Each structure stands twice: as structure tokens, then as C-alpha cells.
Amino acid sequence: MTITEKILARASGKSVVSPDEVVFGNVDNVMMHDVSGPGVIKILTEWEKKGNKFDRVWDPDKVWISEDHFVPASDRISAENVALLSRWAKKFEIRRHFKYGLGQYGICHTLSHEEGLVLPGQLYVGGDSHTNTTGATGAFATGLGHTDIAYVLMKGKIWFKVPHTLLFKLHGKKPAYIMAKDMILHIIADIGIEGANYKSMQFTGNIVKEMCMEERLTLTNMSTEAGAKSGIIEPDSVTYDYINTRTTSNYSPIHGDDNAQYLDVYDYEIDKLEPTVAKPFSPANISTARELESIEIDKAYIGSCTGAKLEDLRMSARLLEGKKVKVRTEVLPAAQSIYFKALKEGLIEIFMQAGAVVGPPTCGACCGAHMGVLAKDEVCISTTNRNFPGRMGHVDSKTYLASPLVVAASALKGRITDPRDLEN
């Protein structure tokens, strides 16, 4: 069995599971945020209105809550949603509730690894499509809607169709200025944005093994953009070192069998990969950055669970240091702890000296919520994950997706720029 099959087997109390089999998995961790949470609460309230009882969560210690999409509260409706979530969490004794202005908070998918909330071998579900991100730590992590999260809160389990696994082997020597974002955009373009629908994407190969945890998280995060049910990387010493500095909890990692069956195996030689950009209006619509150097931009956005981890901030700062941006540039660290680390490393000063605005952790403009959404016809290059019509603002705005290095280089030139060409 693959790692994914073995996690689902363990979670469902079976010795063996096979792809396409429907199983009920016991959930180790469940997350909701200020968008999915109020939706879940509404489902539970309607359940009660119909004469049913919901007076306790199956296990309050397995639930955690983040405030991330419309925070700091962007308007009165958002404030009400955040307040509703707080009242609900208090009533149901949810202790792991990350609130802005009260110490650590940030984007749910970032807190998940940054705080060591989800552990290798676990079955984790979240009320957000990018829950796949957390699979980089060796967990089965998948996104669900309001109803399914409500069901988990009641019963602690949920049905899954065991997914087939696609194995992506990334080999070779990583060229300078190439990041995980370039690699995953290529993979999505190859298999298409429906290419992994209902399937798990597993990443391996020497390139992945040599990556730090935060780069690995970019691969699993963007597996969502190929339609994947989950993205996963087998845990190794990088995983354990990362997790063990963040939690003292015990965990039981799971590894796939040597004779595991994969639906397809894809080999990628990374040696000749070039800095890559996904054009509007699909993450699969790629070109090299050089092919797009005539595209002028209005804005550069460094944010989101995909592109505002500490490593992403370090990479962008490396290019921005001592220089000035030519277009409006926004930096939103993905969590309070990352903001603080960036501050101590001097990265925030680099961004501010360069002229960028540094904002509080939030999903913000990545999903068109607030904090710098785009006007009609505006063009943005962004470290985020989606560029569908209207994703970051007006339906006639345009978002180009790229790595933090390409976004920083483009901010300096005011047009899409390959970081290798910065000296020209």
C-alpha cells in the first residue's frame, strides 16, 4: 500500500484498503476558519432547529480554529463572523483557537505546520481546499465543505473513497533561482487542472528530499490546483527535525510499502527548468518568465499559505535588499510567528527600505477578500495559488502566479522579470 492507503487503513481500523473503496476514517484533527466556521455553525444550528441535539463536539481537543480570511475584521459582517466563531469555540471548549491580536495567529495551512498541530501519519481534514498543504508533513490532509466538517464535529469520522496515487519523482540538480513553485506549476501544466481530480499526488526524488519543509509545502499546497484530493510527502529526517522543534506530542509516522501500487509515475529532470509563470486565467497556463518580459505589472503580491512562509520571505528579500520596487508591492507574512522571525532576521526592514508595504497575516487579497484587491484591468504578479477570473479582485483584473523570486524580480523592474536577468 502507498502511504495514503496505509494512513486511511489505520484510520478506518482495517489492515488493507484499496483505491476506490469507501471507508470511514477516524479523524485525528479537524480545522475550520472564519469562512468555513460560520457555515458549519449554520449547518449545526439548522440540525438543532429540526429537533435534533448537538450539545458537544466529539472531541474538543482534536478541533482547532483559525481566523484568517477576512481578518483583522475587514468590515462589520466579518467582525460578526469572527465574534460568532469565538462564542461557539468558548461554548464547545475548543482550546486551540488562534485569534489575531492575541499572540500566534495566521493562515490555517501555515499554523498547521508552523505550530506542529498536525503530525505525520495522521488523518486531518479542514474546511478549506488548500488543506492539502499539510500533507508535506506525512499526514493525509484533505479539504471538505461545511456539511462534512459538521458531520466530523458530531461523529469524529467521515467517509472517504480511497484515492489512487500519482507519484511524481523530481530528480537532478536544482538550478539557481528555481523554487518549488516553478516545479509544481510545470507539473500542473503537464497533467492539467483536472489531472489529479479524486487522486493523491505524492512527491519524491532527490530534489524533494533535499528541499526544506517550507519548499515541500509549496508542492503539496498547489496539488489542490491539479484537483488532487491530497498531496503528500513521506516523512524523513527533514520532517522530524521540523516537527520536533514545534511540538512535544508523540506520533507514529507511516511509510508506503516497497511494493506500493501507483496509478502513474511521472519523472521530472529539474536541471533545465526555467523560472516559470502561470498566466491568467489558470494555474496550468504557463510560460517562462523570459517569454513574458514585455508584460507590465501594476502590483506585486507576496502573501498566502503558498507564498509567504519564512523561506518565501527570505528569497524575495534576497533580491529586494538595497533596491527599490518600481510598482506597488505588498508583503503579508503567513503567520504572526513568521512575521516575527522575518523581523528578527532583518527581512521586514529590507522590504520597507525597498518601499513595499508589510501587512498583517491574512488570506487577504489572495482570495479577493480585502487588503489590496485588484481594480478593473489591473495586472498583478503574485506568489499565491489561483488566478481564475476575479480571484484577486475585479473580474477583469489579471493575476500571474510565480515564485517569490520571480515576483520580487518583477517588483523591481515593473514588468515580469526572470530573476537571472536582474543585472541587465
Partner 1 sequence: MNIKKGRVHKYNRDNIDTDVIIPGPYLKIHDPKELASHAMEGIDPGFHTTVTPGDFLLCGGNFGCGSSREHAPIALSTLGIRAILAPSFARIFYRNAVDGGYLLPIEIERSTLEQIDDGNMIDIDFENYRIINLDKNGESYTIKPLSDMIIKIVEAGGLLYYSDDEKGFAS
- Residue from 61, 77, 241, 267 in contact with partner 1 (CB under 8 A): 77
Q: Which CB atom, from 110 or from 316, has the smaller least distance to partner 1?
A: 110
Of positions 1, 31, 350, 367, contacts partner 1 by CB under 8 A: 367
Task: Indicate whether 70 belongs to the interface with partner 1 (CB under 8 A).
Answer: yes
Nearer CB in complex with partner 1: 295/363: 363
Q: Is 340 in the site for partner 1 (CB under 8 A)?
A: no
If one asks whether residue 154 binds partner 1 (CB under 8 A), the answer comes out as yes
Q: Which is nearer to partner 1, 81 or 329 (CB)?
A: 81
Q: Cβ of residue 193: shortest distance to partner 1, in angstroms? A: 6
Least distance to partner 1, CB of residue 130, Å: 9
Can residue 391 be called a binding residue for partner 1 (CB under 8 A)? Answer: yes
389 binds partner 1 (CB under 8 A): yes
CB 1 within 8 A of CB 256: yes
Count CB neighbours of 13 within 10 A: 10
Site for partner 1 (CB under 8 A): which residue of 128, 182, 234, 378? Answer: 128
* Contacting residue, 2, 4, 29, 36, with partner 1 by CB under 8 A: 36
Binding flag, residue 109, partner 1 (CB under 8 A): no
Among the listed residues 67, 68, 114, 148, the single contact to partner 1 using CB under 8 A: 148
Residue placing its CB nearer to partner 1 in the complex, 227 or 307: 227
Q: Does 386 engage in binding with partner 1 (CB under 8 A)?
A: yes
Q: How far is the CB of 355 from partner 1 (least distance, A)?
A: 27
Closest by CA position to 21, among listed 37, 34, 33, 5: 5
Shortest spacing between CB 333 and partner 1, in angstroms: 21
Per CB under 8 A, 159 contacts partner 1: yes
Tell me the three cell numbers of residue 393.
479582485
Question: Cβ closer to partner 1: 75 or 258?
Answer: 75
92 binds partner 1 (CB under 8 A): no
Judged by CB under 8 A, does residue 378 bind partner 1? no
- Chain residues binding partner 1 by CB under 8 A are 20-22, 24, 34-36, 38-39, 42-43, 47, 69-70, 74-75, 77-78, 81, 127-129, 131, 143-148, 150-151, 154, 159, 161, 193-194, 197-198, 227, 229, 282, 367-369, 373, 386, 388-391, 395
